[in-house]
Amino acid sequence: MEKDQVALQPLRIPSGWRVEVNELREIDPSPETMDWFYGSILLSVLHRHLGHELYVRWEPEGDPSGRYVLQRYRLKFEKKGDGVLEAHFVDEQQFEERLLLVERLEAYMLLETWS
């Protein structure tokens, strides 16, 4: 099966969020699909007004027994333009199951503030 034959993972993304990178597929890692989980980013979404970014990758790369890693960042943007002036790491969570990752992503996108 080719990568482009597998649909992107459906996500409920509220308005204001912008998808920067989306390679999160509706398939789980296995020895046959592990090539699809190489690369530093599976998903990156940000909300400029709130200054939030969600970032997902697979670790360790190439290992079917790895986990999804979800990181949250607070960003400070330039007043004009899209340049990021500051980025502050909030936290990191790991998930073995893709659907639990999706639930957490969608929940975080509904929050206006992150503690």
**How far apart (Å, rounded) are the C-alpha atoms in residues 10 and 1?**
19
Q: What is the largest CA-CA distance in the chain?
A: 46
Q: Domain boundaries in the chain?
A: 3-110
pLDDT (average), residues 9-27 = 95
- Torsion 9-110-56-49 (CA) sign: positive
Tell me the pLDDT tens digit for each residue of 35-90.
Answer: 878 777 999 999 999 999 999 999 998 888 899 999 999 998 888 877 888 999 99
Residue 3, pLDDT score: 63
Tell me the pLDDT tens digit for each residue of 23-39.
Answer: 999 998 888 888 878 77
pLDDT (average), residues 7-21 = 96
DSSP 25: B
The residue type of 51 is G
Residue in the block written with tokens 């969020």: 17
